[in-house]
Amino acid sequence: MNFKKTIGFSALAIALLLGAYSCKSKEKIASEVKTNSEVGTILENMPCESAGKSDKKFFRAFSMATSSDLSLSKEKALLLAKQRLVTLIQSNTKSVTDRYVNERELTSASEFEQKFENLTREVADETISNIVVACEKSSVLPDKKYRSFVAIEVEKEELLNSMNDKISNNAKLQMDYDKQKYEEIFNQEMEKLAEEKGYK
């Protein structure tokens, strides 16, 4: 009888130990899952980010890049920012042109749009060579790599002046071009862009 009691007690003790171990194992696994699901520290306010937001007077773009070489990280960040700026300018001017064509009710609308988009691409590419670096910062990461941040800008007026110069040399575009009307729509689109970005 005593032998049976001893066996029963031992079995109960083992069951309790296994249960406790099982709970600890589950806690450990849960803890590991939580740790493994983390992807690193989130940068809420990145250097130069606010300086790369467009407003009603400037087209702006922000970017960052990482490299084991400091100069290369800066070059990569600048190249990415330029690409983003060109895309932003082209997107904005396309919206302006679409509105202009619709409001003016041009007979040769598709031809005008095509020529204007080609002109816009030329102007955007040329404007990039005159960009201003509004902010530039770099940091060293724990793995000894460099991370560079950059914000660039180009003035709206500079872009408009370049477009007006090119249009003045194109007799066909000039026929359908109302400078005052186009600039009015352009300014409205810039206001809209500034509101979207939270800037005035």
Q: What is the pLDDT of residue 30?
A: 40
Asked whether residue 127 falls in the same domain as residue 64, the answer is yes
- The answer to whether residue 24 scores a pLDDT higher than 90 is no
Asked whether residue 100 falls in the same domain as residue 189, the answer is yes
Q: Is the distance from CB of 152 to CB of 85 less than 8 angstroms?
A: yes
Q: What is the mean pLDDT of residues 9-26?
A: 46
Return the biggest CA–CA distance within the chain: 114
**Full residue range of the structural domain in which residue 85 is found:** 50-197
Identify which has the larger pLDDT, 31 or 81. 81
The pLDDT tens digits of the residues spanning 137-147 come to 999 999 999 99
The pLDDT tens digits of the residues spanning 129-138 come to 889 999 999 9
Q: What is the mean pLDDT of residues 5-20?
A: 47
End-to-end CA distance of the chain: 90
Asked whether residue 3 falls in the same domain as residue 91, the answer is no
Q: What is the mean pLDDT of residues 18-35?
A: 43
- The answer to whether residue 55 scores a pLDDT higher than 80 is yes
* Residue 37 placed within a domain: no
* Residue 120 placed within a domain: yes
Alpha-carbon distance 152 to 62, whole Å?
Answer: 7
Q: What is the pLDDT of residue 100?
A: 85
Please tell me the least confidently modeled range out of 9-13, 74-78, 174-178: 9-13
Identify which has the larger pLDDT, 152 or 35. 152
DSSP 33-60: HHHHH------SS-TTTGGG---SSEEE
Asked whether residue 2 falls in the same domain as residue 88, the answer is no
Asked whether residue 63 falls in the same domain as residue 158, the answer is yes
Please report the beta strands in 86-181, taking only residues with DSSP state E, as ranges in sequence order. Answer: 132-140, 146-155
Identify which has the larger pLDDT, 120 or 36. 120
Q: What is the pLDDT of residue 153?
A: 96
